[in-house]
Amino acid sequence: MKNKSFFILVAFCLLLAGCTFNSTEPTKKELTIGFSQAGTESNWRKVQNQSIKEALEKQNFQVLHRNSYSDPKQQIQDVMTFIAYQVDMIVLSPIEETGWDSVLEEAKEANIPVIIVDRNITTEKQDLYLTHIGSSFKAQGSRAGLYVTNHYQQKTQESIQVFEIRGSENTSPTRLRSDGFLETIGRDPRIHVRQVITGDYIRLKAKEQFSKAIDEGKLEGIDVIYSHNDEMTLGALDAIKEKKLEKNFVIVSIDAQKEMIDQLKKGKVNCVVECNPFMGELVANTVKRYFEKKAIPQDIYVSDTVFSDQNDFSTIPPRGY
Ligand code: GYE
């Protein structure tokens, strides 16, 4: 009898210990991540979205997902909603670079940490987010510029004119892809950006703007087309075809979607700088590290590569997007 009550007491204690263990160390399933996505403007974006969502879910985080469909005001609302839900962390893939101070102050006051992914933001205070995970857009611009300077190195042509197709304004990739490109082509005094249009990273918008530029004679004298993403390059190629513009341009694009690699293989474009969308694992690991109270670097770079007509095409890995 004595033995039996001792056994019951031990069993009760073990049960209690189990409960305590559960309540102090919540399982990750109980941690909710608010993931605010910028839009659906490109195939690249769809893959990047999927990569982040899947990686977070694989780590057993509960993901609240909102897509602001390229509307900056909506995206602020989405982040506000996550704050109201008292999520455990916000993963923000922002549309615009500025305008984040007050909403991120609110997240900070609510003790909700924020991680920025892909495009970066500029804030008054550095402590409004934990880290940024994404590509070096300036390096991408420089690599695009390097292709152009190398291409013309052995040529005697006296002046080289560039037509630049920019992504949306007030975004970090647009600013930095331009800066990196300008800095690099600046090493060859013959190369100048002569025409600029904005295609908002959207194929149709770029096609419209590029067609208009053709009609206005703005392609005359142009040697190089430098476009900030593949969708816009495809738009420009559509316009060239439709307008039956018979001229061979040197074309440099960024992202490396399958469709653009196919164009590279066909000799329609010369260089495609990769922007790697598969950042999901880096994001999920960083979130995990935060909750494990491990140190997190201030900037986490995704690695990108370059594909050009200087490559052996058989070495290009299948794109899948
Ligand atoms: O290059 C483009 C997308 O933010 C870096 O946005 C990203 C860009 C990417 O829609 O295709």
Instruction: Concatenate the DSSP letters of all residues of 59-94 into one string.
Output: TT-EEEEEE-TT-HHHHHHHHHHHHHTT-SEEEE--
State the span(s) of the chain assigned CATH 3.40.50.2300: 32-134+277-302, 137-275
Q: Which CATH number fits domain 137-275: 3.40.50.1820, 3.30.70.260, 1.10.1060.10, 3.40.50.2300?
A: 3.40.50.2300
C-beta separation of 225 from 250 below 8 A: yes
77: phi > 0 → left, psi -120 to 50 → alpha, else beta; which? alpha
Q: Which CATH number fits domain 32-134+277-302: 3.40.50.2300, 3.10.450.50, 3.40.718.10, 3.30.70.360?
A: 3.40.50.2300
Instruction: Establish whether residue 304 lines the binding site of ligand 1, counting it when its CB lies within 6 angstroms of any ligand atom.
Output: no
- Residue 43 CA: nearest ligand 1 atom is 11
- pLDDT tens per residue, the chain (321 residues)? 444 554 444 444 444 444 333 334 445 558 999 999 999 999 999 999 999 999 999 999 999 999 999 999 999 999 999 999 999 999 999 999 999 999 999 999 999 999 999 999 999 887 999 999 999 999 999 999 999 999 999 999 999 999 999 999 999 999 999 999 999 999 999 999 999 999 999 999 999 999 999 999 999 999 999 999 999 999 999 999 999 999 999 999 999 999 999 999 999 999 999 999 999 999 999 999 999 999 999 999 999 999 999 999 999 988 989
Of 229, 234, 253, which is best to mutate to test ligand 1, by the most ligand atoms within 8 angstroms of its C-beta? 229
**How many angstroms is it from 137 CA to the middle of ligand 1?**
10
Q: Which residues contact 206 (CB under 8 A, 6 or more apart)?
A: 165, 197, 199, 200, 227, 231, 232, 233, 234, 235, 236
Q: For residue 269, what are the CA distances in angstroms to 7, 143, 251? A: 77, 15, 5
Instruction: Establish whether residue 45 lines the binding site of ligand 1, counting it when its CB lies within 6 angstroms of any ligand atom.
Output: yes
Strands (E), 78-187: 89-92, 114-117, 131-134, 160-166
